[in-house]
Amino acid sequence: MSPESALDHVPVSVTPLEQFEQYLRRRGRRNTVQRRVVLDCVFRAHDHFDVDRLIEKLPRRGQPKYVSRPTIYRTLAEFVDAGLLRKFELGGRAVYELNYGYPDHDHLYCQGCQSLIEFQSDALVALRDAVAAQHRFRVTGHRLMITGLCAECQSGARRRPRRQPRS
């Protein structure tokens, strides 16, 4: 181990909250109660979630730390912009996932139980870059979704049916 690696390896020297506060300060924007409440909830336990699932976990209207739906949308967009979350679409809804220290990854989507299984593949990134190079295309990102049935749903009927996607 080289001397500087001691610094590199400090595990979580910058928390999401700190990173977001820096983001706000850099832009002269304000550190409000609502932003803190949403951030706290998002980074408490979620992996990926949609807006409705997030709202279920937040205080309801009338309660102490209520955050309105428009503000939630606005705040999540800021988190994406600040690099804390990534956003994608699934069945006509926006889905967010943590982007905090994670390496990029992609998903297997089970059509039986609607669960998302993450995987990471360097080979995929290499393949992506090779394809892009062939087309003189400058890559900023990618999204791969493999659809099918997870191991659980292959044996036995579907379980944990969640919500019917629209499409």
Partner DNA sequence: TTGCGTGCAAAAGGTTTGCATAAAT
Partner DNA sequence: ATTTATGCAAACCTTTTGCACGCAA
Footprint of a second copy (CB under 8 A): 87, 89, 92, 94, 108, 110-111, 117, 119, 121, 123-124, 127-128, 131-132, 134-151, 154, 167
Interface with DNA (CB under 7 A): 24, 28-35, 50-52, 61, 66-71, 73-75, 77, 92-94, 163, 166-167
- Contacted by 74, from a second copy, DNA, none: CB < 5 to 8 Å by type: DNA
What contacts 142, CB < 8 A, 6 or more positions away?
Answer: 125, 128
- Contacted by 114, from a second copy, DNA, none: CB < 5 to 8 Å by type: none
What contacts 143, CB < 8 A, 6 or more positions away?
Answer: 88, 106
Q: How far is the CB of 66 from DNA (least distance, A)?
A: 5
CA 26 – CA 23 distance, rounded (Å)? 5
Closer by beta carbon to a second copy, 17 or else 108 = 108
Closer by beta carbon to DNA, 66 or else 137 = 66
CA 86 – CA 100 distance, rounded (Å)? 9
Q: How far is the CB of 157 from a second copy (least distance, A)?
A: 15
CA angle 152, 156, 158 (to 5 degrees): 70
Token pair recorded at residue 47: 């992996």
